[in-house]
Amino acid sequence: MHTSPDPAVLYPDVAVCGSLATALRAEAEGCLGPVPVTSSDRAPLLHATVESALPHRGPMQINAWSRERGWSIRGTEPFQSMALIEGRTDNLAQVARAARAWHDGVSLDDIRRTAPFVHLTGRFEVPDNDPARLTGSEWQHLRQEAGELEYAWQETYQGLIEEAHAEPALRALYPFTSHWALRFSSSTRPSLTVVGPCLTANSDGTYGVGRGMSSSDLGRFATAQEAVALAVRHLPSGLGPTTLGG
């Protein structure tokens, strides 16, 4: 059984400071200024949180890796707790620069320019939680994510996402995935209202349509266009605009 190294051994500089929050400030050489940075009582060497001055941004989570030296970040919007930015680096000074930019309300694109290790998830900020824009943000995330995948069936999956997005009846619904199966909701997170069938991109290059997760009981097709067309025909009638979940 593999055990993780003692954090004090993997991060001796952080251990000397007493917490990741304190080490982050020391590494930042004043760039964090009055930015609120806290560490957890449970694992102060491994976790830190940076608040944002913007109400539509949640705290940025900073986590130290347990098996090798490095850190990951995750900055979310607070209503759905979905990531707007992520990133992994072994440079704590870069983490500090990203944290300051997140706190100060710097645009997502400019955060990435400030700290190049930052990865934009494709979601955009929706300060008023408008459900139509949250839906559009999630579609943008799924399309970007599909294009970045490195799995063998990446082209099949990306084709499914793009074909579904091109269909207005599906584009108006809030999309979500599980195990690479595409589903739809008439409300946003955090409380999804699942409607219509499930679409799957299969490893053999075919596309499935089913009533349940990863099922193809409604049909299996050679093209994403055929699968999407069937999914549209199985949507319930009378669907209105997507509503805010929760």
The predicted-structure confidence for 26-73, as pLDDT tens digits, reads as follows 999 899 999 999 998 999 999 999 999 999 999 999 999 999 999 999
- Asked if residue 240 is part of any domain, the answer here is no
Give residue 213's pLDDT. Answer: 77
- Asked if residue 49 is part of any domain, the answer here is yes
Q: What pLDDT digit, counting tens, does each position of 158-199 carry?
A: 999 999 999 999 999 999 998 779 999 999 999 999 999 999
Are 43 and 101 found together in one domain?
A: yes
Q: How far apart are CA 209 and CA 138, in angstroms?
A: 21
Domain with 218, as residue range(s), is 131-233
Give residue 1's pLDDT. Answer: 56
Are 33 and 83 found together in one domain?
A: yes
Q: Where are the beta strands (DSSP E) in 112-180?
A: 118-120, 174-178
Query: How many separate domains does the chain show?
Result: 2
Are 115 and 137 found together in one domain?
A: no
Are 63 and 155 found together in one domain?
A: no
Round the average pLDDT of the chain to a whole number and report it. 95
Q: What pLDDT digit, counting tens, does each position of 98-134 carry?
A: 999 999 999 999 999 999 999 999 999 999 999 999 9
- Asked if residue 47 is part of any domain, the answer here is yes
Give residue 3's pLDDT. Answer: 75
Are 182 and 194 a contacting pair, CB within 8 Å?
no
Are 25 and 114 found together in one domain?
A: yes
Phi/psi at 195 (5° precision): -135, 150
- Asked if residue 239 is part of any domain, the answer here is no
